[in-house]
Structure 1
Amino acid sequence: MATYEDSKSPEGPSSYPISHTISASDESNTNMPSWDSDDDPKNPYNWPTSRKWALTCLAAFATFLTMMNGTMATVAHFEISEVFNISETSFPHSYWIVTTWALGGACSALFILPLAEDFGTRPVFLSTYLVFLCFLVPQAVAQNYATLVVTRFFAGGCAAILANTAAGVAGNVWSTEWSRSVPVSLYILGYMAGSSMGPVMGAAIFQSLGWRWIGYMQLIWFAALFPVYYFFFHETRGSAILTQQGKSKDKGNDSVGSEKTATTSTSSLRNLTASATRPMILFCTEPVLFVSTLWSAFTIGTLFLFTQSVEQVFMEIYDWSVTQTGFVQCAIVIGECIGWSLNFLSRKLYLTSTSRNTEVPGAPIPEARLYMAVFGGVFGISGGMFTYAWTSYPHIPWIAPAISLTMVGAGSVLVVSGVTDYVVDAYSHYAGSAMGAVATGENIFSAFLPLATFSMYNNLGLNWASTMLAFISLVLSLVPTLMFVWGKEVRARSTFMNEMTEDGSKRSDDMV
């Protein structure tokens, strides 16, 4: 994964959706206390490897579980519509519970999550966890549809904070790019596989217990896991640990404390304004970020789209039940695991590109991040959607379109991983803002793209609807190949990207 900050920095990277931020407060805070030495045992980079892996696995598991919350209820939409008298004759109104969930995630990712940098990972994670538990209750006991729609908005906001605050663990405890690559890829796998696994788990619960138990079961396992996270999910953000040390040292000195509080308040307000506006500025002025956002957002949106299209395809062609259509989406998860394993090849291609780099000798070529992403987009997502389209016939066994889902799942992980790595590399000091724009786009596509699925597949037909999606994916996957030829020129002309060359030599030192 990308070097989000200087690996010797005392703060360490913080978190953002599928990436890490470099907060303005960290960049400008020259009065931050430092570690006693490079070998300070309190520094998360110096923790035992076993402790690092324990926290990494806890973080990835939290991401997986919270992302499942977004799609678990989709398999029960027929019964939910019947209970609350929701008509789906001309529009999939039952999907609003996922739309508002994704919109809540977009809002918290863009406006609330950056505030976590001032408080540390642990307190934000645990407090949000408790709020999330509260919003799981109405998902099980709601007496009207409006309750579900509204409370799902806040649950989605909490889920985004939980998933992405935990994501910061990889950057906070692993000091080099080589050591971070596997932990960060585990986070991305958990993020995407959780969304795809939701219908599978939801189908199992719905078939055995009913739709309300989808909420009850989540409430049970999240409540049971809270003590685990309370006792074992330690603070990993270096700046928070150092701040706590500074408070301990300053205890009893009221004048020093009040002066620091006033300075911090002014700085936090200024930095909050910058954090909230910079993602949109980057998105509107940077063509590379604009295309990257569309590419990654369409990919994530496609995974959510399958919660609707798989039902239409498999129920209409093979006369499957709604629970069976939930189970078959396990093929997407299998594909995502395959894509995760291919990320090791992507890392190898990136690191071996150093021998061909004439711009910054000894450093990898930035665009090498996109090699496997383009491959995944063309042969995985686009190829999978073409296959999904033209194997959707009654005389073709169901395993054929299921394999297509696997292809799309594998390609999606390669695309999102490649885009994430490249954007963070390319925008270096502005990585947090750049990834904030990408994450917001992903949530918006996840919210609204599936709403068009019902009409699209009805009007265009099962074959041509998927074919249109395949063509869109093909175009989005081929556009980044232009960076293979003109990447150096594009970066030189960008106000936000031209610092990448200056950081190239340092990044090469952080590889190992």
Structure 2
Amino acid sequence: MGTYDETHLQPTTTIDASHDSVKTNETTSTEISWDGERDPENPYNWPVSRKWALTCLAAFTTFLSMMNGTIITVAHFEISERFSVTETSFPNSYWPVTTWASGGACSALFILPLAEEFGTRPVFLSTYLLFLCFLVPQAVAQNFATLVVTRFFAGGCVAILANTAAGVIGNIWSTEWSRSIPVSLYILGYMAGSSMGPVMGAAIHESLDWRWVGYLQLIWFGALFPVYYFFMYESRGSAILAQRARALKKRGKGDEADFEEERMLSSAKLRHFFHIATRPVVLFSTEPVLFVSTVWSAFTVGTLFLFTQSVEQVFMELYDWDVAQTGYVQCSIVIGECVGWGLNLISRKLYFSSASRNTEVPGTPIPEARLYMAVLGGVFGISGGMFTYAWTSYSTIPWIAPAISLAMVGAGSVLVVSGVSDYVVDAYSDYAGSAMGSVAGGENIFSAFLPLATMSMYGNIGLQWASTLLALVSLVLSLVPTLMFFWGKEIRARSVFMNAMKDTVKKGHEAA
């Protein structure tokens, strides 16, 4: 999951449309700011049609780029044969996906500082071009090592692209209510993209050589670059104001000293960069709530990547399917994720209606209300789906039964990841970006290494008991957060980081 810009996802009721400014010099009172609350260049004041166009573009970008992670999985037999990779006792052909997710985990720590320093547009476009470069060796690789190494950097690029898309949504929608649906669309794109990868890969690989999986990606990503160049507008307020400051300087309305503060990568910002980069690790190590949230969300996302391995074992062994068919059946996961997105709209209503019951900060929603649908999704969606997936894995039972189970897991996964993401952002407020950096890192690590255990787990303890084990783990992780329903206030009071949320929400509510 993507990290979030800490300056734009605060759990306040409204955001002042004129809050951004660029100071020109510490010794003067001059500053570049918006021309009033109705400044049309302020992203919060953009027309709704433009906001939705940019939101859909960001969600589509996330969906398409995330497919790159799993689209190669359906070609693992041919890749193993071409590069003499053995899979007798270990899924060595999965290493290109492992390094891809590992690259995403590493780059997640540096996304927020880059976006903050340079704005969303230059970071997105430059990373996109770099991503195109790393697509080339995925198609023309002459040895397995090339494929593994270049996939690491491609995964790092995808993480930056996806997180920049998430930042765009936070930059243009000013209230929690207006932002909730756009954020859920982003999460749907993030998860459905990973699940859709094997489906798209199967469609390509059924008729073409495995290298065409890379060629076609290069074609469609290259064709889309002009769209992003002309329509991925700069949405970060401070970056727009910095452009305005440079324009004023060119017109002679300021001197070098006046705009010294505009200069980037100063020593102070460099220190801030390292501070942000290390904070996710500190939070994960010291915050029990964040630890559980990270493991819960990471296991959920890792399970979706695990299906790229287990579905082949189950459906090929039980129904004698070929690789392409096992890729197509994973479309049921995507269908379930779309259903989960629809159910997530109920979570939105439950959250905002909880404001009438909040005695801690009256008039504001209760953070734990974000978890209501997540717990239901974890128990009945993921755990229930995995139990059903386990005990319908018999050749005498029609294939549609385990396929429906996959859809149940897909629906539950969207509810869990959406609920955890929203809860972490609300609970950690000023530290939301760093907290989500921890969650994103965990998701990438589980996505990288959990599927490596699939072959031995399903082979040694059987199709039924392997899925049952996963269902039990998911059930435990889904029930632990229910403790927050009863002792959420006390737990937040003991946390230095979470306690800061209370003061921030109070100030935002008073301002509103």
- The 3-state SS of whatever aligns with 2:450 is helix
Higher alpha-carbon deviation: 502-511 or 237-246: 502-511
**Does the CA contact (< 8 Å) of 2:294 and 2:439 recur in 1?**
yes
1:452 aligns with 2:436: no
**Does the CA contact (< 8 Å) of 1:297 and 1:443 recur in 2?**
yes
1:405 offset after TM fit, Å? Answer: 0.3
1:8 aligns with 2:16: yes
Partner residue, 2:175: 176
Partner residue, 1:484: 485
Q: Is there any run of 5+ residues in structure 1 with no aligned partner, and where?
A: 13-29
Question: Relative to structure 1, is the Cα distance of residues 199 and 32 closer, same or farther in structure 2, using a 3 angstrom cutoff?
Answer: farther
Q: 5 Å matches for 1:257-268?
A: 259-260=260-261, 265-268=266-269
- The 3-state SS of whatever aligns with 1:442 is helix
The ranges of structure 1 where at least 4 consecutive aligned residues each deviate by more than 6 angstroms after the TM superposition are none
Q: 5 Å matches for 1:360-379?
A: 360-379=361-380
Q: 5 Å matches for 1:142-181?
A: 142-181=141-180
Partner residue, 1:339: 340
Partner residue, 1:493: 494
1:403 aligns with 2:411: no
- Tell me the alpha carbon deviations over residues 202-224 of structure 1, each in whole angstroms, 9 at most, x when there is no partner: 00000011211100110010111
Partner residue, 1:25: none
Question: Relative to structure 1, is the Cα distance of residues 506 and 259 closer, same or farther in structure 2, using a 3 angstrom cutoff?
Answer: closer
1:202 aligns with 2:210: no
Partner residue, 2:215: 216
Letter in structure 1 aligned against 2:53: A
Letter in structure 1 aligned against 2:429: S
Partner residue, 1:295: 296
Letter in structure 1 aligned against 2:182: P
**Does the CA contact (< 8 Å) of 1:10 and 1:238 recur in 2?**
no
1:113 offset after TM fit, Å? Answer: 4.6
Distance in 1 separating the partners of 2:416 and 2:78: 35
Question: Relative to structure 1, is the Cα distance of residues 476 and 87 closer, same or farther in structure 2, using a 3 angstrom cutoff?
Answer: same
Higher alpha-carbon deviation: 3-12 or 60-69: 3-12
- The 3-state SS of whatever aligns with 1:33 is strand
Q: 5 Å matches for 1:411-490?
A: 411-490=412-491
Q: 5 Å matches for 1:122-141?
A: 122-141=121-140
Distance in 1 separating the partners of 2:58 and 2:169: 9
Q: Is there any run of 5+ residues in structure 2 with no aligned partner, and where?
A: 1-7, 21-28
1:37 offset after TM fit, Å? Answer: 0.4
- Tell me the alpha carbon deviations over residues 319-351 of structure 1, each in whole angstroms, 9 at most, x when there is no partner: 110110000000000000000001110011111
Higher alpha-carbon deviation: 473-482 or 352-361: 352-361
Partner residue, 1:186: 185
**Does the CA contact (< 8 Å) of 1:381 and 1:408 recur in 2?**
yes
Partner residue, 1:307: 308
1:271 aligns with 2:279: no
Letter in structure 1 aligned against 2:402: P
1:503 offset after TM fit, Å? Answer: 2.8
Partner residue, 1:44: 43
Question: Relative to structure 1, is the Cα distance of residues 319 and 125 closer, same or farther in structure 2, using a 3 angstrom cutoff?
Answer: same
1:74 aligns with 2:67: no
Q: 5 Å matches for 1:110-121?
A: 110-121=109-120
Distance in 2 separating the partners of 1:186 and 1:195: 14
Distance in 2 separating the partners of 1:352 and 1:509: 19
1:105 offset after TM fit, Å? Answer: 0.7
Question: Relative to structure 1, is the Cα distance of residues 31 and 390 closer, same or farther in structure 2, using a 3 angstrom cutoff?
Answer: farther
1:279 offset after TM fit, Å? Answer: 0.5
- Tell me the alpha carbon deviations over residues 45-94 of structure 1, each in whole angstroms, 9 at most, x when there is no partner: 10111111111111111000000000000000001000110000010000
Question: Relative to structure 1, is the Cα distance of residues 501 and 31 closer, same or farther in structure 2, using a 3 angstrom cutoff?
Answer: farther
Letter in structure 1 aligned against 2:49: S
| Cα RMSD after superposing both structures | 1.9
**Does the CA contact (< 8 Å) of 2:192 and 2:337 recur in 1?**
yes
Letter in structure 1 aligned against 2:340: G
Q: 5 Å matches for 1:222-233?
A: 222-233=221-232
Partner residue, 2:505: 504
Letter in structure 2 aligned against 1:319: D
Question: Relative to structure 1, is the Cα distance of residues 148 and 418 closer, same or farther in structure 2, using a 3 angstrom cutoff?
Answer: same
Q: TM-score normalized by structure 1?
A: 0.93
1:261 offset after TM fit, Å? Answer: 5.9
Partner residue, 1:27: none
Higher alpha-carbon deviation: 193-202 or 238-247: 238-247
Partner residue, 2:388: 387
Distance in 2 separating the partners of 1:281 and 1:142: 39
Distance in 1 separating the partners of 2:265 and 2:124: 22
* % identical aligned pairs: 76
Q: TM-score normalized by structure 2?
A: 0.93
- The 3-state SS of whatever aligns with 2:388 is helix
Q: 5 Å matches for 1:240-251?
A: 240-251=239-250
Letter in structure 1 aligned against 2:82: V
Distance in 1 separating the partners of 2:376 and 2:277: 34
